[in-house]
Each structure stands twice: as C-alpha cells, then as structure tokens.
Amino acid sequence: MSASAPWTVPSVRAALLAKKISARELAAEFYARIERRNSELNAFLTLSPERAYAQADRIDATVARGEDLPALAGVPIAIKDVISTRGIRTTCASKILENYVPPYDATAVERLDAAGAVFLGKTNCDEFAMGGSNENSAYGPVRNPAALDRVPGGSSGGSAAAVAADLTVASLGTDTGGSIRQPGSFCGVSGLMPTYGRVSRYGLVAFASSLDKIGPFAKSVADAARILSVIAGHDPSDSTSAAVSVPDYGVEIEQPIEGLRIGVPEEYFGDGLDPEVRRPVESGIAQLEKLGCRRIPLKMPHTGYAIAAYYIIATAEASSNLARYDGVRYGLRAPGATLTEMYRQTRDRGFGAEVKRRIMLGTYALSAGYYDAYYLRAQKVRTLIARDFSDAFQKVDAIITPTAPTPAFRLGEKTADPLQMYLADIYTVTGSLAGVPGISVPCGKTPAGLPVGMQILAPHFAESRVLQIARAVEAATERGN
C-alpha cells in the first residue's frame, strides 16, 4: 500500500489476510498520524489506545488462528464525542461532561466493536451537536484540513476532518439538521445520514430526539455503505428504531442507476446559492444524465419555512433533553448555598453560550401562551415539509441539491451572528424534518480548491438508492467530470 492511497475497509482486510501488516501496526500507524496532525487540526478530543490495541490484538489473534474475519476487522474508526463509549470519556464537547466516562457502549458502537473495528478515539464537535461550524466546542474549534483558516463544518466537524486528513479510515457522526452532510461537504468526504429509525439512538446523548441520527463518514461511498450495514437495524433498547430488514449495502450499491428519475427542486438553486457551489453540483447532475438518469424539475413549496420550524422543534426538544444536567446525576457540579443555587451555578458554568441560547429559545417556544403560536405551528410546518417530500417521491426516485449554499467559510466569519449560522442550514434541515435518508458526496471543488458536496435524498429506508447514485457521482468526480 503506497503512502498516498488511503486505507479502505477492503484494503485493510486484504493487508491483514496477506499478513502485510497487523491490526496493531495499523493502529500504531494511525496514532502516529494523529500525533503529527492533531495539535493543528484539533479533530480528536480523547484518544483510546488501550481499547484500540485490545481490539487490534483480538483481530490479530483471529488472523493467526486462520479464522474468518468479521466485516470491519482491524478498521480504525473514530467516534463523535456525543456517542457513548464504555470506559472512554464522552464530553459532548461540553464543560458540563468534561470528566464523564460512560459505563456502556451505544448500540452503534457495540455493533462496530462486534464487527472488529478499532476505536482510535473520540472526535471534537459543536457542544451537544448544536452548531454548524464546530466553533461551539468548549475545547476549541476544528480546522478544515483543506484550508486551515476555514471551519470543517459542524456539528460533526472532528469526525469529517479526521477522515479527510487520513487520521482514521472512517468515523461516526450524528445528524440532527445537517451535522453529517454539511461537514462532509466542507471537508470533501462522504457523509451519510440514514433514515430516522434506521440506526439505534441508544447511547447517543440526545439533542433533539425526533431528529437525531447516527451515520458514517468515509473516504469512499462504498466504505460508508459497509459501515451502515454494520450499525443499522432494529434495537429493542430504542423504541424508535425501525424493525425493517437491513440489506447488504455493500452489494446493493452495485445496482445500476440507469433510468432513475432525479428530482431537482428549484427552491434549492435560488438566490442564496454560491455560483462556485452551483457549478460542480450542476456538472454532477449532468454526469448522472449521461449515465441514463432523467432530470425532473421539482417544486417543494414549503422549503422556505424549514429553518424556522427546525430551530423551534430542535430547541424545544433540546430544552427538555438538557434538563438532566443539573449537577446531581451527571458531570460537573458547581457549589451553591442552596439546591437551586447549585443548579444555577452548575448550568451557568457548564454550558456554553449557544447551548444556553437554545435552552432559552426552546423553553420559550414551549411555555404556556406561546406553545400554540410557535411549537404547534412548527409541527404543522414539519408535516407540510414531509408532504413536499412524499409528493416529490411520487414523481422521482431521488432528489438532488447542493448540501450547503457555500463552501467552508472562515473561522470567526459567522460567530457574531447566530442567525447567519442558522440560515446556512437551509438545504439540510428539510430532509431532517422529513426523516428521509441523505448523503453528501464530493462532486468537485471551487477554483480555490475548496471541496463541494452534492446532497442526494431518497424515500424512507431507500439508503441503497442514495448510495448507488452517490457512487456514480463519486466515480464521475474522480474521473475529473
């Protein structure tokens, strides 16, 4: 394996079977890379060499015995720090959980472990996954490996940057309103958001429970597919996880895309779209047409209301979910003369500014007298947006849009104005509200060399179709369009 070709799930497997490298040596190689680059990128918050080497040794012993290797044998994986990992500190990039060590693995993590993955460590993100630039981390921002003065996107910025910089083969992120897809676009890697309910949320620290999803980042669409096959599927510990059978996405991805109807909604190609993003997305669509897909213009009339609805629903759910950080049961406890004073001090010192802003917004939206005007209305808008999608999927097999209106912006560019930051989520929150699956796949670069992602959305549980189309775009992009 040459130094420049990134490791993939199959290349790790082949190298292990040929005894060209051991899982332990591979883990050590990745830790050496992390050692070299992490002080600059800040992608990892915690490293977990003890667990990684134990996992690697298990795989090496399996190889030595000549037994079959599990699906992700020896594959280094990084895990977003909002996902619980047994014995490994899980901070949610918050001061309030600075020293929290979960006693159990999230189901997705447990499944990766059973499939032979090697956990390098926990990745930086926006505090409690609230943000779109990774600048809301209590432990400092992540830098974009493609341009160090720019953000990696968020909230799963560390997970995307770690894959882009080859500090891991793949990673887990979470997506509530775009947090896998948008950093995937900004960093130039594939980021897959599964259907709501496809992957168990058990052990995912909740931000907005009706929207939160766990999904993979990888350098190739095929690797993202392989990881999804491992983590997907019903889990009795999460009552919202769906009892829908899980195909082998690594096989499904091979299906031809000829004849698919690709919907292109006009609302996603309007005024706010940077021409440097529009160009590669348009050329990606043209490539799909060459491969036999049919381009169908669409209208999704409620798109313009999605940001407002999302930021009411997500903050309302967050205000309730974050009530548990009271200094009694988890993490930080600041002293106070009375119980109320202790709560107040703990939450004041433990939470960052954006988390406080959202708790206040959400509490307001749910309060008596405002509930009907805000929360209930937002829920009605959510239904209308979901209907835009189900109407569209009567006519098309998939929907294609830009993932974000701009390429990665500069650190500090939007921090003074939270509303500007929220508005940048315009193309991702719609699919989140509808609960459909989506991916961001790299489709080109701006003239300055910044990555641009294309978003592909499909009906509920049609991840295979998302992956098939993404793979075609990936191949066309690699050929240089």
Residue 175 within binding range of ligand GLN, rule CB under 6 A? yes
Cα–Cα distance between 461 and 35 in angstroms, integer? 39
Pairing outcome for strands 451-457 and 76-80: unpaired
Q: Is 306 in the site for ligand GLN (CB under 6 A)?
A: no
Cβ of 399: how many Cβ atoms within 10 Å?
26
178 binds ligand GLN (CB under 6 A): yes
Identify the CA nearest to 453 among candidates 400, 409, 412, 411: 400
Catalytic residue among 94, 171, 179, 200: 179
Asked whether 130 and 231 are in contact (CB, 8 A), the reply is no
The answer to whether 155 contacts ligand GLN (rule: CB under 6 A) is: yes
Residue 456's DSSP bridge partners are 400, 439
131 binds ligand GLN (CB under 6 A): yes
Amino acid found at 231:
I
Please state, in angstroms and rounded to a whole number, the distance separating the CA atoms of residues 302 and 245.
Answer: 32
Secondary structure element (H or E) that encloses residue 275, with its range: helix 275-290
User: Of 177 and 184, which CB lies nearer to ligand GLN in the complex structure?
Assistant: 177
d(CA 142, CA 45): 10
414 in catalytic set: no
Q: How far is the CB of 207 from ligand GLN (least distance, A)?
A: 6
| Closer CB to ligand GLN, 119 or 427, in the complex | 427
Taking the least distance from each CB to ligand GLN, the nearer of 115 and 378 is: 378
Burial 145-154 (b: 16+ CB within 10 A, else e): bbbeebbbbb
Using DSSP, state whether 363 is helix, strand or coil.
helix
User: Residue 179 or residue 430: which is nearer to ligand GLN going by CB?
Assistant: 179
Is 440 a binder of ligand GLN (CB under 6 A)? no
**In this structure, are strands 76-80 and 170-175 parallel, antiparallel, or unpaired?**
parallel
- CB 236 to ligand GLN: min, Å: 25
By beta carbon distance, the residue nearest ligand GLN is 179
Stretch of 33-41, 56-64, 129-137, 297-305 contacting ligand GLN, by CB under 6 A? 129-137
Contact status: 177 vs ligand GLN (CB under 6 A): yes
The type of residue at 455 is: Q
Q: Number of residues in contact with ligand GLN, rule: CB under 6 A?
A: 13
C-alpha span between 149 and 163 (Å, rounded): 18
The answer to whether the beta carbons of residues 382 and 309 sit under 8 Å apart is yes
Instruction: Please give the structure tokens belonging to residue 437.
Output: 């699956």
Q: Is 216 in the site for ligand GLN (CB under 6 A)?
A: no
Using CA atoms of 328, 334, 337, 339 in order, give the dihedral in degrees to the nearest 10: -20
> Is 130 a binder of ligand GLN (CB under 6 A)?
yes
Nearer to ligand GLN among residue 179 and residue 401 (C-beta): 179
Task: Compute, in degrees rounded to 10, the torsion defined by CA atoms 17, 21, 25, 30.
Answer: -90
Give yes or no: 179 in active site.
Answer: yes
DSSP 85: B
**Exactly one of 107, 176, 321, 430 binds ligand GLN (CB under 6 A); which one?**
176
132 near ligand GLN, judged by CB under 6 A: yes
**Residue among 22, 155, 171, 432 flagged as catalytic:** 155
Q: Does 331 bind ligand GLN (CB under 6 A)?
A: no
Give the shortest CB-371-to-ligand GLN separation in angstroms. Answer: 21
* Pairing outcome for strands 398-402 and 438-445: unpaired
Nearer to ligand GLN, 76 or 435 (CB): 435
When asked if residue 91 is in the footprint of ligand GLN (CB under 6 A), the reply is no
The token pair that represents 371 in the structure block: 């509930």
Report the greatest alpha carbon distance in the chain.
70
In the bound complex, what is the minimum distance in angstroms from residue 318's beta carbon to ligand GLN? 9
Closest by Cα among 308, 440, 441, 318 to 377: 308
416 vs 448, beta carbon nearer ligand GLN: 416
Q: Which stretch binds ligand GLN (CB under 6 A): 160-168, 171-179, 254-262, 264-272?
A: 171-179
Q: Minimal distance in Å, beta carbon 58 to ligand GLN?
A: 33
19 in active site: no
Task: Report in angstroms how near the CB of residue 331 gets to ligand GLN at its nearest.
Answer: 20
Pick from 274, 286, 284: nearest CA to 443: 284
Binding residues for ligand GLN restricted to 374-413, rule: CB under 6 A: none
Q: Are strands 190-193 and 213-218 parallel, antiparallel or unpaired?
A: antiparallel
Closest contact distance (angstroms) between CB of 310 and ligand GLN is 7
Closest distance between ligand GLN and the C-beta of residue 134, in Å? 10
Q: Which position among 326, 425, 463, 474 is part of the footprint of ligand GLN (CB under 6 A)?
A: 425
Shortest Cβ 392–ligand GLN spacing (Å): 22
Residues known to be catalytic: 80, 155, 179
Residues that bind ligand GLN (CB under 6 A): 129-132, 155, 175-179, 207, 314, 425
